[in-house]
Structure 1
Amino acid sequence: MSYPNPNEPESHGHFHNDGTEPHSHDGSEPHDHSHGEAEISAQKEQILKQILSSEARSRLNNIKMVKPELSDLVEQYLIGMATQGKIRGQLTDDQLKQILLSIQQPKRDFKINRI
Structure 2
Amino acid sequence: MMKKFSQKMVKLHWHGVAFDTGLPIHEVSDAWLMSPDIIGKYMGGDELAFYEVDSLERQDDGFHLYEDNHPRFFMVGTSKVGTDLSKINFPELANMSFVDYIRIGFSLEREGSR
TM-score normalised by length of structure 1: 0.26
Decide which structure has greater strand share: 2
Structure with larger Rg: 1
TM-score normalised by length of structure 2: 0.26
Decide which structure has greater helix share: 1
